[in-house]
Each structure stands twice: as C-alpha cells, then as structure tokens.
Amino acid sequence: MKPQDNGNGAKTQSSYLQHLPGLYRDDEFMGQFLIIFESIMEPLENTVGSLALYLDPVVTPESLLEWLAYWVDVALDTTLPLNRRRELVKAAAELYRWRGTRRGLTEHLRIYTGSAPEISEHVEGMRLDQGTKLGSNTQLGGSGAGDHFTVSLELDDADGIDIDSVRAIIDAQKPAHTVYTLQVRHKQ
C-alpha cells in the first residue's frame, strides 16, 4: 500500500504498512498510528542514510572535522585554511604509511604549509661526483655521521604558518635517531 496524502501535504497512511503482514496493511487506524513512529524515525533514517558524507573529510561539516581528525590522530591547527585541514585529515592514513621517510615528511609539510619542502641528507665522507674514483680504499660514509638532514621551506609571508608547529611536525615524523636543521625563507 502506498502512503496517501490528504491534499495539504500531510500523510494519512504510513509507508511502514508495507512491512507488516497483509492482515494489518488495510487497517486505516494502523496506518495513521504508524505515522507517529515514521515522523520520529524519518530524521534518523535520513542521517543514517547520509552517514558516509559525515565521515568524508572533504564534505563533512566544518564542525565535525576536528572530531574526524581525532579519530585518525591528526592534530589540527585551527589557524590553517579549511581546505588544508580537510586535506590533512584525508591524507592521514597515507601519511602514517610513510611516517619516518623523506616522502612522508615532504607530503605532510606540503599539506601543512602549502609549499613543498626541500629535504637534503648529509653524510660525512660521502662525496660522489665526476672526480670520484672508486677503489679498494674508498670510504663511503662515516661512523654515525649520516643522521642529520636539512629541511628548507620557502613560504609566503601571508601564509601565517607557525614555525613551532612546523618543528613539531618534523619532530613527530622524523626517525627518532636523527637530528635536523630547519631553514625558512620567505618569498618576496
């Protein structure tokens, strides 16, 4: 049985009747009685029906973004533009996958700052160029000297990026045994 309309937009029969045994489907009172429950459940059904949209950081309401970030263990800087915050939450799983690597740190800083950093690693004693001759006494690297890297960022002055937050990201993403130097240049 289809829901009926009384002409002014109000239903006279509930669509829930179709889920009842045939004996009750033709009962007018039952159809009107179930409208009460249908009116209570309809907003809940609509919310559950669109739950995937609430869990998608690209389209979720801004008020739920911080909640989603908490679920994926991303600390959001509320001073960042909304699109960058959304991108950080969306990329959280991929960032965790590459945590501790140059690729992971580069991507995390690119999303946070809007500018791709240049990361260079320093290894004492390792110099390979056109004048290098490999032989039996060639030394590549030194003992324990390869644990330093430099992160160079070029930022717009208008970005308003908190350098302490950049340092916190690097500290959280770098391998524990390494040290780094942060160089920040501002675009003119």
Distance CA 100, CA 48 (A): 38
Residue 66 one-letter amino acid: E
H/E run at residue 1: none
Structure tokens at 62: 């801004």
Closest CA to 121 of 147, 100, 95: 147
Structure tokens at 72: 């994926």
Tens-digit pLDDT profile for the chain (188 aa)?
444 555 555 667 888 888 888 888 888 888 889 999 999 998 888 888 888 888 899 999 999 999 999 999 888 888 889 999 999 999 999 999 999 999 999 999 999 999 999 999 876 655 556 666 666 555 555 544 558 899 999 988 656 788 999 999 999 999 988 999 999 988 87
Phi, psi of 9 (to 5 degrees): 95, -10
Distance CA 86, CA 82 (A): 6
E strands present in the chain: 118-122, 148-155, 179-186
Distance CA 18, CA 27 (A): 12
**Alpha helices, DSSP H only, in 50-77?**
51-54, 62-71
Determine how many CB atoms are found less than 10 A away from the CB of residue 160: 10
> Which residue in the block uniquely carries the two structure tokens 């140059």?
102
Cα 175 vs. chain centroid, distance in angstroms? Answer: 22
